[in-house]
Structure 1
């Protein structure tokens, strides 16, 4: 297939099927990547992965992948280097990807000992644009934007390719269309430009699990628990043990990494 997205570097659309939705405990069982190139071409790669744990039956009933289907497949750590190389130099895109797929993928890479840095990548979430403009699900988006019925929904490859087509159609439909934000300001959020799409789909969160975010003044604050809305650096200065509690707690590796980076940047000595 071909696309008409205005790309300066490859944009890797991807979708994950997993054992569940817990970023700390659950694992990937299938990944499909559709790498869209600036010349309009697309390269697809799909991998089944042994999660190293039983797949809950309720998850298998959703995506159709059972323990027997991955019994002879490699563990993520065995394909991690190859996947990282395939994604090297790519921006990332998906459907609900910024809330789930990207965080889950980053966690798997970190568990495999690979520093998969997303800070220099544009993160494009077609669901964010879709919910902003036409709040529905992927199947409805596919019918609305592409005039097609999504066959094999919850198949990673079918969902991945459908998302690519949906974003491509979205850009064509909404390029230059103005909306009014909650402050009454008119703007054109959707453009055939990955910087603009990244800006409206990524949001103001610091870590993928959304435990920290930027407030209106650009200060990083906690987004959960007793310190919700309080500046992270101020909390760590007043309550140094909170850092250790989070580092030892049931938080994602990405959250812990970002918290440590903030602590070091703030020149805090937490022992």
Structure 2
């Protein structure tokens, strides 16, 4: 079908160094501009973010520091993309929450105000989630074929969750590929140890402020100015950072527990 457009609609997708709009940078930008007559124009390129790309992020999008070292920075291409998007409404997948805010931030970093008022913003993910619910009621209907009566009563919800899990095992046991053709990381089995491998959880710090490195030996900061840096190294060089974290109210008790243990290890050694 052909979209009914009064002006161009530019679909935007960004690959980035991470998911923090205020701190992360673009490593690839792609814009598919669809014109009212149905014509399409694709503009895409690799961008040098001017900061390191975390290896864990590179694994996801396949773009590494070596791939961007000779690429232009966003400052060098900003005016080109500003002009390309100038007459367009904007679209994307989760674009209203991530791609567009981060793009606006990148423009501001180079002194350009990317104006949004007067544009239509179409987030395809929002339509998807509106029309194809991804809550417990929807899961119960999909897997168990019944309407969930009394949803949001804890006892009803947890019983429904149990029934959904059993139905999922029956539907997916030994299936190696998802319905989009991609391989399932761990084929589903009627085995809790195997099922748990499908879910990642930060046992070190459930709030995610602190994480282990890939070898699970060193504890790293997962936020702020020391993101990606070893905790022990930071506390040795900047002990005031420990005091700031321990006295700031929005860090969890779980995070502070790890901090105390690390601080003690430094001073006991």
Flag the structure with more relative contact order, 1 or 2, with Cα contacts below 8 A and sequence separation at least 6: 1
Structure label with greater radius of gyration: 2
TM-score by length of 2: 0.50
TM-score by length of 1: 0.49
